[in-house]
Structure 1
């Protein structure tokens, strides 16, 4: 079954607390287990950036839930991809806090096609996927 991936950015709804984010992620992780979706959610207190991966039907169901959620607004898809391997097979969902400067740099990175920097390419700016991998690395087992 081919793997799909999607990354989006959104604004945190006014008044959302860390405890509410924890509950939101717990609920998402439960749904994602059923939908065979994995991923990571970054938050700087003002915005979310979420990467999800899984089968097309699982991504469609998960993204429908994301669009219906009242925990955020101004959802913008940054990139999508078909094919490839899972980047987060161990996380049905995990959220990681980011400093605002790290969030802004990651958000502004190149996300088109969720590409990684080509190995051996000199002077190439890291892509969003490269930055995401760097931010997540300390949390991987």
Structure 2
């Protein structure tokens, strides 16, 4: 499942905290929760919005989504895509967060979300939304080598 949301007003005033300790606290809490419910994924943040990719068996996604919808850290949650994939793309990332540029998150969020079909070219004119997401995450994760596990990003 992939969704996009807007940072809440209560956290908007603490954007510096989100970039440092506060954001890491949120990610650590999500990691513990996800471990318990069998969810893996990542969270992109552009100082305004979140875009999160979650993967697990359907019941795990449902439990995680309930938690997402109840969180005070964001609002205006829009589900972009939900579906089935053959294998997890990031099975070792219980929750990783990556800072991204506004234009990059916008490009991915506004792409045509019509499934999780991968064409393997995130920059191609006809790239799918998941192609663009994988390309962005791969590029960002390579800059921050402390994000292990993305080498397992793979085709459906």
Q: If the length of structure 2 is used for normalisation, what is the TM-score?
A: 0.78
Match of 1:45 in 2: 47
Alpha-carbon separation, structure 1, partners of 2:133 and 2:85:
18
Q: Secondary structure at the match of 2:82?
A: strand
Unaligned residue ranges in structure 2 (runs of 5+): 12-16, 142-149, 152-156
Match of 1:3 in 2: none
Moved more, 41-50 or 79-88: 79-88
Match of 2:22 in 1: 20
**CA, structure 1 residues 83+135, in 2 after alignment: closer, same or farther (shift >3 Å)?**
closer
Alpha-carbon separation, structure 2, partners of 1:96 and 1:125:
25
Which one of the candidate residues 85, 88, 94 is aligned to 2:87?
A: 85
CA contact (8 A) 1:80 1:112 kept: no
Larger strand share, 1 or 2: 1
Counterparts in 2 of 1:1-141, with a 5 A limit? 6-16=1-11, 17-18=17-18, 19-117=21-119, 124-138=125-139, 139=141, 140=150
Moved more, 61-70 or 127-136: 127-136
Alpha-carbon separation, structure 2, partners of 1:83 and 1:130:
14
Aligned-residue CA RMSD in angstroms? 1.8
Unaligned residue ranges in structure 1 (runs of 5+): 1-5
The runs of at least 4 aligned residues of structure 1 exceeding 3 Å deviation read none
- The one-character-per-residue Cα deviations of 1:37-65 (angstroms, maximum 9, x if unpaired) are 10010010100000000011111111100
- The one-character-per-residue Cα deviations of 1:12-60 (angstroms, maximum 9, x if unpaired) are 1124231322211111111111111100100101000000000111111
**CA, structure 1 residues 87+104, in 2 after alignment: closer, same or farther (shift >3 Å)?**
same
Q: Secondary structure at the match of 1:113?
A: coil
